[in-house]
Amino acid sequence: MTDQPASFGASLKKSLRGNTPVYIIQKSHQFNSRIGEVFETLHDDHGSKLGLGLSVKLAAFKPQQLHDFFSEHSSVPLRIADPELHRHPSSGWEGVERIRARATPLPWNFYSVLHQKPNAPWIREVIESQLNYGATVALSATGWVDAAKATKSLADAMSVVAASRDLIGAETPMFVNLTFDSRWLTDKELRGILLQEIVESSEKHWYLRFWWPLITYRYGQLLDTEVLRGYRLLARTAALEGKRLYLPNSGLTGWLMTSFGAAGFSTGSAWPDQAFGRERIMGGRKGQKPPPHTPRLFDRSILHTIDYAIFERLAAIPSHKQYPTSFFPDDRRDRAFEGTRRAPLPGQRRPLAGKAQRRPSDGSRKVGPSRGYVAELAGATRPPVRGRVSRTPGDLARASQLDVGPRWVPTKHW
């Protein structure tokens, strides 16, 4: 990149003020060398009207590697090194059972033990492991909050949050970092406990991750109405109370929730970075080769990830509107890609994280009768709304039987 600005998007101070929507890109495993180009494009498109952030998994880096990576992306104002403490074997999260054992120990000493009550030396190590290597915002030294003993578990977590705040002081930005099961959104009692804590706490910034029910298809969308209703109430309550709610690993669901008052969300090119949820257990014989990657891309006319073969047939419809960007694929078929990204021919740019590159209001077309061009979208390619194309988060909400009301939608800022 040339002529790189000193800071991409809104300043950190402006982003954390809550008046600017914040889009956080998760560093995924593949193609991460092109993240800088995505930030450059977003900055060119939106300037200071959009806050930009970069989140990485702390456990994936050695200390020097983390420092070097954040130094390379120092123009991104909001930088997060997520310790992902919910993934610790002692956290109580059910998903831990599916995490593969590491062949070598993690390079960060604090992972050797998990303290779920205040322990100043351990908390200091968790916080310093983030801030000393390039993060501009600290995540509190907290993780999974058990629903079985909800009141006690949340109280213990908030005591660690308070201890984290005491260590770093009031001037250093810190997000309350908590991970819950989706029952905290759907169960009235659990939701009430969480909302009461948010309302009564003096902390302003909340980084809340929810473990979704099983999504039928990879690269699909959350369609559970009760979970969406819980998200809506959470976002509205946070906004009314002057709290900033950030929803990591939430993809289009997080984007939708900005229409109800959420301050920001994160997503990435890989499916686990778009959805923190239960996964279908896939069986296979020993030595069996994995199936080939299915070419996919995100079609902004229907706000959905579809197979490339389906996209080609949609594109043949005269009324189908395309939104070319620097990362939009051309009509070449000899390139392999997956999710919202694919690998280009030599010298060509890869499509990355295309979901937030244009305004949500862009998706304004209806897909009419196929007239032989395309069959009805089905299975993994079927959008959540049949018969019409959603053009705004408000449309998505109404399609999910959610009452939007007069609240603002992301198009106000995007």
In this prediction, residue 384 has a pLDDT band, given cuts at 50, 70 and 90, of: low
Count of CB atoms situated within 10 Å of the CB of 171: 5
Please state the φ and ψ torsions of residue 56, each to the nearest 5 degrees.
-130, 155
What's the pLDDT score for residue 132? 96
Predicted local distance difference test score (pLDDT) of residue 252: 92
User: For the segment 90-134, what is each residue's pLDDT rounded down to a tens digit?
Assistant: 888 887 877 766 656 788 999 999 999 999 999 999 999 999 999
Cβ burial of 334 (10 Å; 0-12, 13-18, 19+) is exposed
Look up residue 289 and give its two tokens. 């080769």
**Residue 346, amino acid:** P
> pLDDT confidence of 400, banded at 50, 70, 90?
very low
Helix (H, G, I), strand (E, B) or coil at 365: coil
Summarize pLDDT for 136-182 with one digit per residue, the tens. 999 999 999 999 999 999 999 999 999 999 999 999 999 999 999 99
- For 2-27, write each residue's pLDDT tens digit: 456 678 999 999 999 988 999 999 99
- Highest-pLDDT range among 44-48, 102-106, 199-203, 296-300: 199-203
- Domain 12-99+107-274, architecture per CATH: Alpha-Beta Barrel (3.20)
> Which residues are CB-contacts of 272 (< 8 A; sequence separation ≥ 6)?
249
- What distance in Å separates the CA atoms of residue 171 and residue 343, rounded to the nearest whole number? 42
Q: What is the mean pLDDT of residues 263-273?
A: 89
Q: How far is CA 296 from CA 42, 339, 408, in A?
A: 22, 5, 31
- pLDDT on residue 103: 56
- For the chain, what are the domain ranges? 12-99+107-274
Beta bridge partners of residue 305, listed in sequence order: 298
Closest by Cα among 123, 39, 31 to 83? 123
Residue 47: Cβ within 10 Å count: 12
pTM recorded for the entire structure: 0.80
How crowded is residue 232: how many other Cβ atoms within 10 Å of its Cβ? Answer: 24
Structure confidence at residue 316 (pLDDT): 86
Please give the Cα distance from 95 to 161 (Å, whole number). Answer: 23
User: Do 122 and 90 touch, CB atoms closer than 8 A?
Assistant: no
CA pair distance 224, 234, nearest whole angstrom: 16
* Lowest mean pLDDT across 28-37, 270-279, 283-292, 376-385: 376-385
**pLDDT tens sequence across 233-256:** 999 999 999 999 999 999 999 999
What is the rounded average pLDDT of the residues 179-190? 97
pLDDT of residue 2: 47
Residue 28 has pLDDT above 90, yes or no: no
330-355 per-position pLDDT tens digit: 443 333 333 333 333 233 333 333 33
